[in-house]
Amino acid sequence: MADRLDQPRQQGLRLRPHYDPEAFGRLSEQIARFLGTARFLVYMTVFVAVWVLWNVLAPEVWKFDPYPFIFLTLMLSLQASYAAPLILLAQNRQDDRDRIQNELDRAAAERNQADVEYLTREIAALRIALGEVATRDYIRSELQRLLEDLQEPYAPATAHSKES
């Protein structure tokens, strides 16, 4: 039968379980954080010590993993085989967060650089404008020169009138 465009396709039986990658990633980070603590090391040490002591000191009927402790080795190998990928997943997620944070920091630094350059140009423009503004000393000197220019035509006349 031909596929009809007005109907959704029939999905075959999905054998893969559905999971939320984000939730799984958060769980893996929590586990990785716990695996990297002294508390975990103490718990594992106590667990292994109890396991070994139980299988060495307990009566024969209660021992479930005799001396070479093969079952304990299997359990620790299983724990390590799950711990390593969980730690790697947590590190990859942290790398992704670091990369995004670095991009945001770079963008902020570029904006700050642009702001600094703009403010530097504005300050330079203000300095140039202030250089063209008449200062108080400049105005006094100009007024003094004008006063001298105005008094100059009268100066010879007063000098001649005193002589006569």
Helix (H, G, I), strand (E, B) or coil at 145: helix
Percent of the chain with pLDDT over 90: 53
* Angle of CA points 44, 50, 51, to nearest 5°: 85
Nearest Cα neighbor of 90 from 26, 34, 36, 38 is 26
What is the predicted pLDDT for the residue at 151?
87
Predicted TM-score (pTM) of the model is 0.55
How many other CB atoms sit within 10 Å of the CB of residue 117? 10
Residue range 58-101, pLDDT digits in tens = 899 999 998 899 999 999 999 999 999 989 999 999 999 999 99
Place 138 in a pLDDT band, splitting at 50, 70 and 90: confident
Q: Classify burial at 29, counting beta carbons within 10 Å of its beta carbon; exposed 0-12, middle 13-18, buried 19 or more.
A: middle
- What is the predicted pLDDT for the residue at 130? 79
C-alpha span between 61 and 43 (Å, rounded): 26
Helix axes 21-35, 38-57, angle to 10 degrees: 70
Here the tokens at position 19 are 């999971």
Would you kindly state where each structural domain of the chain is located, as residue ranges? 21-151
